[in-house]
Structure formats: structure tokens, C-alpha cells
Amino acid sequence: MDKRLFTHPLPLKSVRITDGFWGNYQRKVLNEVIPYQWEALNDRVPGADRSGCIRNFEIAAGRAAGEHIGWVFQDSDLAKWLEAAAYALVLRPDPDLERRMDETIELICEAQQPDGYLDTYYIITGLDKRFTNLQDHHELYCFGHMTEAAVAYYYATGKDALLQAMIRYADCIDRCIGPEPGKLRGYPGHEEAELALIRLYGITHDEKHLRLAKYFIDERGQSPLYFEEEGRRNGNRFYWRDTHYRYHYYQAGMPVRAQRNADGHAVRAMYLLCGVADIARVTGDESLLDTAEALWKSVARRQMYITGAIGSSHVGEAFTFDYDLPNDTVYGETCAAIGLVFFARRMLELRPRAEYADVMERALYNGVISGMSLDGKRFFYVNPLEVVPEACEKDEGKRHVKPERQKWFGCACCPPNIARLLGSVSQYMLTAREGAIYVHLYIGAELDASLNGQPLSLRLNSGFPWQGRAELTVVSGSASGRIALRVPGWCRYYTLRVNGRPADAPTEDGYLLLDRDWQPGDAVTLDFDMPVTRMAADPRVREDTGKVAVTRGPVVYCLEEKDNGGSLHLLRLPRDAAFEIHDEPELLDGVTVLTAKGLRRSAAWAAEGLYAPAEACEEAAQTLTFIPYYAWANRGVGEMCVWVREA
């Protein structure tokens, strides 16, 4: 493992997104999501579940009296909002927002205890109980999110009040938890602190932060199991006793380095793997890299939906087993798809490989943004690939699936998580090292980069996801080195032009390698062929047998009742059906719609009962209209499906 080959995202302020598609999403974050979620955190959204988040901090700070409201991890909602808002300040300076954030940070610091402890649940309900239920009570998870917020705010504004507070909290944790005698030999029941400590370490370079993160990874799942001891000592409940997961739910069923299959709670798994990859990067630890790669394969090659959704079971919000990907009972939590993007970016930092970027792109354009309505005001927790609204209401096994996005959740992890990812999408589009820039996602942007120490201003124009053209131009600066451009996995044919002339370039791990003396005005043009593609699933995926999913470029399509009528299971897409491509700038914020000559099986049924001798089924021609999956459920309640019968 040659650490010199590792890459890193550009600083936040060095990338200005100009992209039509993602710029639109960022505007939603700025104009809708962040103000809306601020209202939600302050319990001012009529009809939405009460958050209590700010209120808890006011009580903890002694500004108000009352009882703790919401979940034990309620603080994390504010943390994720702060992180998202920090990215927003970079996207568009906003003194009002910044002032509100400063005031909030002041409130947070006021709630902090003299020894650095900072978690409103225990500050309000009794500090004597703190760190007595690391398994389920999320203190270290909240610490992690608030640390990520502190880091983001520091990078956005240079202000370090929250950063210093979190350093003090890290010290407090380090005094209480660890392998040394007299400390609790525990670790987080919900991962997040690990990756946050590495982000903190990126600023502080304090070995203590790295050591603590590494300890959390290494201690996890060791025998005797801390959570068992903790449970016995403190009488904690063990919710997962009678399930298949047991301690795998917490990613503590075995030592991390011994894991080869992703199991248990999907978000926990993703956050853990981010920490694993981060520490592998910082320390060069080969065994952690092996673990990260093995678990990547377990997730991306054996347990991922075509939308990038992961975690197929509602119970435990968890993985089940290889190739088990039911479309209707799926969980596919928005946060898990977001976590997969986080993990993919970290794998790209370790080694630019198109597989990581392909999955990152798949999740971003599909299973992540499906979590938010086009108006930025409603959210899905669960992202199904097949929905029959009546089943969501009347079949208890599908009641976790909602046919409409919700305003806010009692457990509101997903909405601010989307906001912070969309606000920082620049951190996912490219990574760089000394002599190379790797473009992973074709997102229009202006970039202040450098190659071998020479500054280089670049402009990336992109028609993604609707057109396959992307153009990279050197705006200013001269530098010698490599610009590597990803060839998306969905693309079979492309043309490369350099300064208008057809060019050829070697590829490595799915990236075109352009090694060159770059001069102002240099332009690289890529035309990726983006045909409509009928995708099949690995035959081991039982639920997709005999079906296809329609994709074009990075976008997965679906059928909605709105366009195709109900009883979508009666529709069929014959193997030879040709597609038409329609740009619909007025529809669903502007999408490309696909149509094909399909068939609808007759619903006529002469028999009195449910079963009768099979007869040749009659089918009538029907135009099938496919819309992008991410945009479903924005035009009222109805059926939806991604996988369509082929025969």
C-alpha cells in the first residue's frame, strides 16, 4: 500500500458547483431544506412530529426547564443540520444563517459540562448514568455528528468554538473509555465517532484522536463482549436477543478485521466501514484495507439494490443475506444509501477504481435523492422498488413502506443527512493527489486544483444525467501531470477529444489517464454513449427473475401508476421493445422520460374463484412510460415498480 497514491477531496471552497442537476438540488437545500429543518428542530412545523432538539439544548444549558424530548440521539439532528448549514455557507454566504448558527453553537457550548461532556439526554436525565449504555444510547454517535459539524463549520468559517468544544468532549471520552485500567472498555453501539475522530485528527493531528478511533475499531466485537458485560452490569435491555443479528446489529458480532460479510444494521455498517477505510488511509494498515475491500464486495456485489439502496430488512434496518433483495418489503433507508456514498468516497481515496465511483453514482442519482421530494420538504426513510399503496396500509409486513414522503420523522436521521450530503457533493465528484486529479462524477463545476504544486483552474461542464457529454477545460494555470477521467460502468462506447481532436488514452481501473502539460484553454471532451439499457440482475436474486430494470446513464427508471394505470404487475416489457427518449423540461423539475411499446395483460377473469386452469393470457398493447426512479411519488399516491416482467 503506497500512501503516496492515496487521493483526497479538494477543499470545500475550491469547488463551486455550477451543475444544472446538482445545482438545483443544492438550491433546494439552501432555500427549502435548511430553513425547513431549522423550523422542525425548533418544533415550529405544524403537523410534523415534535423534534425537541433545540429545546433539549436550552434545558441542558439551564436556559429552560423541562424534560428531555425525543430519542436518546436527538442531538444528532441538530449536529447534522449544523453540518449541512456549514456547507450551505460555503455555497452561498448568508450572514443571517451564520449568526443563527453562532448563537446555536453558543447554546451548545453553554450546555457543555465542565469536564467536556456534552449530551443533552444525560445532562437532563442524570449524569450519573452517562456512558452506562454505550450499546443503545448513542452518546458517542452524537459526539461524532457534532464533531463532523464542528469540522465543517471550522472549514466554512474559520471559527473554532464548536471545534474546541468537541476537542474537550473527545478528551472527556478518552478519559472515560479505553483499554487502560479504570476506563470503560467500551465502544459505540452506533458507529460514527470513528470517522468523526479521523476528520478531527485531520485538523488537530493529535495522536489521541487517531488512537481513540483506532481503539473503537479494534476493540469492537472482541471477547468478552463489552455490551454483554455492560448489559449485565447496568441491566440494559438487549433488543436483538431473539433475532438473527444479535450483536451483529451493532457490528459487534465479531472483531472487525475478521468480518467478511456485511451484516446487521446497514447504516452502522457503512459508518463503521468509513472509519475502517479512514484509518487504513491514515495508518496504512493493510489488514483494515483488506477488511474494507471484503466488506465492500459483500455490500456492492451481493447485497445492493440497483438503486444503490442497501439493507433489505425492515427489522433491524439491516442486511439479511447474499442476493436477498425483495423489492416490496425492502428497507433501503435513505441514510444507508448516503452511508454507502460516504464509504465509496473513502474507498476512492484509497484507490481510484471505477467500481467505487459507479456505486457512488448509482446511489447518488437514485437511492439517495429518492429520499427527498422535489420541493425539498418531504422525506422518505424507506426507499422501496415496488409499491402498492394498499399493501403499505393493510399488510403489516409492508407498513414501514410509505407511498408518500413524510414531513418530518420522530427519528429524523434521514432529512438532515440528505442535506449535508447534497450540500457537500463537491467532496464526492473528484479526488486528487500530488500529481493527479481523478474525476469520479461528471458534475458541472469550477475547480481550483493543482498538479504537482502548480495551481490549475478548471471548469467542468456536464450534461449528466440526461446527456452523456462532459467537457473539462483549463481556465488558467499551467501544470504537468495526470488528469484521470472515469468511464462510467454503464457506458460501452465513448469518444474522447482533446482540444477538438479525437484522442486516445490508456485506461486504468476504469479511468482514462491523460498525462500532459496542461495549458490554459486545453479542453477535454468526452461523449459517453447513453442508450436506454434493460438491466438484468444476477440470477441469484430471486425477486428479479424474469424481470428487467430500465436505466439510462446513471439513472434508474421506474413505472408509476400515474403514467401507466394501476396493477403494474400486469405490465410487460417485451424483449424487442424499442424505446423513445423524451426530454420533459416541465415535468418533475425537468427529466428525460422513456417510453416503450409494452403490453398489458388482461385483467379479465371468467372464473368465480381465485384459481382456474391456465389459459393463454391475452395482452393488449400499451405504451409504457418510465420516469426516473428518484422522482417517483411526487404526483400523488399510486403504485410504482422498478423491475418489469420481460416474459
- Return the active site residues: 317, 413
- Rounded Cα–Cα distance for residues 545 and 555 (Å): 21
Contact 86, 155 (CB under 8 A): yes
Minimum distance from CB of 352 to a second copy (Å)?
A: 17
Q: Which residue has the cell 440482475?
A: 537
Minimum distance from CB of 613 to a second copy (Å)?
A: 5
Contact call for residue 366 and a second copy (CB under 8 A): no
In the list 315, 503, 513, 637, the residue contacting a second copy (rule: CB under 8 A) is: 315
At 304 the three-state DSSP class reads: strand
Give the residue with the Cβ less far from a second copy, 504 or 615: 615
At 87 the three-state DSSP class reads: helix
Contact call for residue 574 and a second copy (CB under 8 A): no
Contact call for residue 570 and a second copy (CB under 8 A): yes
In the list 368, 549, 591, 631, the residue contacting a second copy (rule: CB under 8 A) is: 549
Minimum distance from CB of 415 to a second copy (Å)?
A: 23
Sole window of 69-77, 406-414, 452-460, 544-552 interacting with a second copy (rule: CB under 8 A): 544-552
- Rounded Cα–Cα distance for residues 26 and 28 (Å): 5
Give the residue with the Cβ less far from a second copy, 65 or 606: 606
- Rounded Cα–Cα distance for residues 208 and 198 (Å): 10
Q: How many CB atoms lie within 10 A of CB 625?
A: 18
Site for a second copy in 382-401 (CB under 8 A): 388, 390-391, 393-397, 399
Contact call for residue 320 and a second copy (CB under 8 A): yes
Give the residue with the Cβ less far from a second copy, 4 or 575: 575
At 42 the three-state DSSP class reads: coil
Can you read off the three cell numbers belonging to residue 10?
A: 479538494
Minimum distance from CB of 455 to a second copy (Å)?
A: 38
- Rounded Cα–Cα distance for residues 573 and 596 (Å): 8
In the list 140, 163, 295, 537, the residue contacting a second copy (rule: CB under 8 A) is: 537
Site for a second copy in 617-646 (CB under 8 A): 617, 645-646
The residue count for binding a second copy (CB under 8 A) is: 69
Contact 51, 41 (CB under 8 A): yes
Contact call for residue 65 and a second copy (CB under 8 A): no
Minimum distance from CB of 366 to a second copy (Å)?
A: 12
Closest to 408 in 3D by CA, of 111, 37, 94: 37
- As a whole number of angstroms, the longest Cα–Cα distance in the chain is 79
Contact call for residue 324 and a second copy (CB under 8 A): yes
Contact call for residue 536 and a second copy (CB under 8 A): yes
Q: Which residue has the cell 464509504?
A: 343
Contact call for residue 260 and a second copy (CB under 8 A): no
- Rounded Cα–Cα distance for residues 221 and 219 (Å): 6
Site for a second copy in 187-246 (CB under 8 A): 243-244
Contact 621, 577 (CB under 8 A): no
Which string of x and - marks every residue 469-508 that binds a second copy (by CB under 8 A)?
--------------------x-------------------
Contact call for residue 358 and a second copy (CB under 8 A): yes
- Rounded Cα–Cα distance for residues 119 and 72 (Å): 9
Which string of x and - marks every residue 585-604 that binds a second copy (by CB under 8 A)?
----------------xxxx
- Rounded Cα–Cα distance for residues 372 and 375 (Å): 8
Question: 467 burial class (0-12, 13-18, 19+ CB within 10 angstroms)?
Answer: middle
Instruction: State the angle between helix axes of 161-176 and 193-204 in degrees (0 to 180), rounded to the nearest 10.
Output: 120
Question: 636 burial class (0-12, 13-18, 19+ CB within 10 angstroms)?
Answer: exposed
Which string of x and - marks every residue 88-127 that binds a second copy (by CB under 8 A)?
----------------------------------------
Contact 297, 632 (CB under 8 A): no
Would you tell me which residues interact with a second copy (CB under 8 A)? 243-244, 300-302, 304, 306, 312-316, 318, 320-321, 323-326, 329, 355, 358, 388, 390-391, 393-397, 399, 489, 533-542, 545-546, 548-549, 567, 569-570, 575, 601-605, 607-617, 645-647
